[in-house]
Amino acid sequence: MKLESGNPAPAFARRDQSGAVITNADLSGKKAIIYFYPKAFTPGCTTQSCDFRDNYQAFQKAGYEILGVSPDPVEKLESFREEYDLPFPLLSDEDHSMAEAFGAWGTQTNYGKEYVGLIRSTFALDEEGAVSHAWYNVKAKGNVARVGSEVLE
């Protein structure tokens, strides 16, 4: 089920790149951007993550925390974060239950073939933990600019 503006964000508890557990409760009272990407170290995912890195200060200034989420294991996320100097947590969703809860896991078509996998998606949450914006099937390039144009003052 796809989330829409006004929906409460699903509860989650996931390990970050250092093994620490981050939950939705950790975001209580904070605005957040949560972006789901398919696989660390791939060209599109690297572009998207580095775009969030390069715009991190603007999001921070507007009061947003940023979380990246992928099906990658913790160890791979640690390497990815270090390699690209990403200043925000990366969450491991190996069983893809967080992606499913956000509506970011499902059937897709790529080059005429259907498969089940992660749907690149980005969500903005307000201070109460409700979805203020939901973007599904986003392109890696240009995603951060679009998110910024809609949520940054």
Task: Tell me what percent of the chain is helix, strand and coil, each rounded to the nearest 5.
Answer: 30, 30, 40
32, 40, 45, 144: the catalytic one is 45
Tell me, yes or no, if 45 is annotated catalytic. Answer: yes
Distance CA 17, CA 7 (A): 28
- What value, to the nearest 5°, has the Cα angle with vertex 115 and ends 98 and 91? 25
DSSP state of 135: E
Question: Among 69, 73, 126, 76, which residue's Cα sits nearest to residue 102?
Answer: 69
Distance CA 130, CA 28 (A): 10
Residues with active-site annotation: 45
